Structure 1
Amino acid sequence: MLTYESHHFGENNTLSHYYNYNFNFPKHLHRSFELIYVKSGCLQVSVNNRTFEIKEDECILLLPYEIHSFVTKNSSESYICVFSPEYIKTFHNMVHEKFLNNPIFTLPNDFKTLIIDKIFKGNTNLLEMKGLLYLICSEVLNHTDIIENNKNDYELLHKTLNYIQENFTKDISLQSIAKKFGYSYTYLSKYLNNTLGISFVDFINENRINYSMYLLKNTEYTITDIAFACGYSSIRSFNRNFVKITNSTPKMYRKNIQPNK
């Protein structure tokens, strides 16, 4: 399942930080940078069909709109910071619509402790934060090369994904989106397939089923009401796609997540 995290949009002064133990997370993407530091163990990170093993005391920097996921095979302890491209505009301009040949790097000992304490633990000093992030970017460039990636048009991707995120519960089609943004249906269909790795229809269904899982878990709505609330015109279509994506019926999914009474 591929998710577009619109809450990590990347506006000015947007930053989130997380501590994770034995972290696993499915495929997703967002407009922000993401910095991961593995304190112990090993974290497997998949980035745009490339897989990296991030070992103890190593970091990886993920660029905006890169599709990524996390898997812990044995154990891992890690810190994550998701931050706005506007924090590091110069570096963002350097890597825009490009990718890093090897995004793995290590932090020099002379400022590693400072970065871990400030970046991953809720620093509120914006100037200090930006300075440290630029230090990290400089270290990244000491470890790798920036590679041209002519296949990506991130402005189109951003517009399209935001529109889908806001309207997937409605009756939308790729034809209507292509017309709205002034692209041909054939071009947009091929572009989304190449960029996301799945078709428009599959992406819409994954968004709808993901939302339905939230509603099944957190509301008392009937399954029929949830199907219509997620954008399906028939309960049959909803059930078919739910089973295809989750390997469970909506009824069984709700039953399995309810605590025993």
Structure 2
Amino acid sequence: MLMALVSFEYLSHFYHTKRKFVQSHNHSCYELVYYLDGTGETAINGKLIHRYRPLTYALYKPYDFHTETHETASSVYCLGFYLGPECPFEPESGLYEDADHTVWGLIEKLSEEIAQKRDHYNIAAELYTGELLLNHQRNFGEKQRNFSSLNYIFRFLDENFAQDISLQTLVDMSGYSYDYFRHIFREAVGISPKNYILEKRITYARKLLIEKKLPMSEIAQLCGFSSASQFNVIFKKRMGISPLQYKKLYKNYQENVANLAGDFEVAPEEM
């Protein structure tokens, strides 16, 4: 029965230095990436960007492309596994908080089993992996259901984030009450609708800064900002550098991937 639910594949530990960039890659299995410490961000399939902090973990479904940018030195554990045909749930990709440190405790036990390789350690590894997934589903299954119920809203925001969208408009579209909509939206993605729209605008702005040769005023307009000045202030507050500095930083990265002019160090793909 155990093998029918989950199959342990690997557990790896990486220590990433400040400003290390992990290039886009994917896996045929599920991968859980646990951030024991450090700060930075991970992007899933080139779209939704999540900011990680200590004691959070990212979950990637099979063949999800993902990248990581480590703003500070980060200790990272990567757990690979497959779901069996009898597994009654399917975890969703995203970033999650290990509020009670249960997931970390299980990763520690799993790491110990792999290191010591005592008798039947492979069975223990699958038991701990299964317990970890059960804990995740109990804590975040409701969050996943909320996300599914808001799929129409997210698709709308993906297409219209640059428009002037009021919260009441989203509430009316959802069919929920004002307070309940705000509650399940935050439960689903961890941030308010306003901040979700802002994240979409910043993500698109970063794409335009990298891929297009456009004046800042035009990028601001395309991303839904009222002016180049507002765009500059909000971008710098969110990213820590101005749009122009970001563009120059990425240009340096392209010109010298191996060195990145001392700003970023490119890491090999994680397992």
1:242 is aligned to 235
Change (3 A) 1:175 1:252: same
Give, in whole Å, the separation in 2 of the partners of 1:48 and 1:247: 16
Aligned-pair CA distance for 1:223: 0.9
CA contact (8 A) 2:147 2:185 kept: no
How far off its partner does 1:136 sit? 7.8
- Partners of 1:239 and 1:50 lie apart in 2 by 29
Q: Residues 136 and 249 from structure 1, CA distance in 2 versus in 1: closer, same or farther, beyond 3 angstroms?
A: same
Q: How far has the Cα of 1:212 moved from its partner?
A: 0.6
Report the CA distance between 1:45 and its aligned residue: 8.5
- Distance in 1 separating the partners of 2:242 and 2:55: 32
Pairing 1:148–2:144 present: no
Point out where structure 1 has 5 or more consecutive residues left out of the alignment. Answer: 1-18, 27-32, 53-59, 113-134
Alpha-carbon shift at residue 180 of structure 1 (Å): 1.6
Give the letter for the 1:93 counterpart: F
Relative to the length of structure 2, the TM-score reads: 0.51
**Superposition RMSD in Å:** 4.9
Provide the rounded CA distance (Å) in 2 between the counterparts of 1:177 and 1:143. 35
Matches within 5 A, 1:57-206: 62=59, 73=73, 88=84, 90-93=86-89, 101-102=102-103, 104=107, 105=110, 140-141=129-130, 146=135, 148-149=138-139, 152=143, 153-206=146-199
Distance 1:62-1:256 versus aligned 2 partners, 3 A rule: closer
Q: Percent identity?
A: 23
Write the letter of the residue equivalent to 1:232: F
Decide whether the 8 Å contact of 1:43 with 1:73 is kept in 2: no
Shift in alpha-carbon separation, 1:200–1:91, aligned structure 2, 3 A: same
> Residues 73, 188 of structure 1: CA spacing in aligned structure 2 closer, same or farther, 3 A cutoff?
same
Q: Does 1:254 align with 2:244?
A: no
Provide the C-alpha distance between the structure 1 equivalents of 2:84 and 2:159, rounded to a whole number of angstroms.
28
SS at match of 2:241: coil
- Kept in 1: contact 2:37–2:75 (CA 8 A): no
CA distance in 2: counterparts of 1:37 and 1:249, whole angstroms: 30
Instruction: Return closer, same or farther for 1:82/1:111 CA change in 2, 3 Å cut-off.
Output: closer
Deviation of the 1:82 alpha carbon: 9.3
Would you say 1:51 and 2:90 are equivalent positions?
A: no
Count of equivalent residues: 196
1:157 is displaced (CA, Å) by: 4.6
Q: Specify which of 203, 211, 216 is matched with residue 204 of structure 2.
A: 211
CA distance in 2, matches of 1:49, 1:90: 33
Aligned mates of 1:25, 1:88 — CA distance in 2: 33
Matched residue, 2:31: 35
Letter in 1 for 2:167: L
Is the partner of 1:91 in helix, strand or coil?
coil
2:45 match = none
Please list every run of 5 or more consecutive structure 2 residues that lacks an aligned counterpart in the other structure. 1-11, 23-28, 40-50, 62-67, 256-271
Contact 1:91 1:137 in 2 (8 A): no
| 8 Å Cα contact 2:37/2:54 also seen in 1 | no
Aligned equivalents of 1:61, 1:247: Cα separation in 2: 23
Q: Higher relative contact order by CA 8 Å / sep ≥ 6: 1 or 2?
A: 2
Structure 2 equivalent of residue 128 of structure 1: none
- TM-score, normalised on structure 1? 0.53
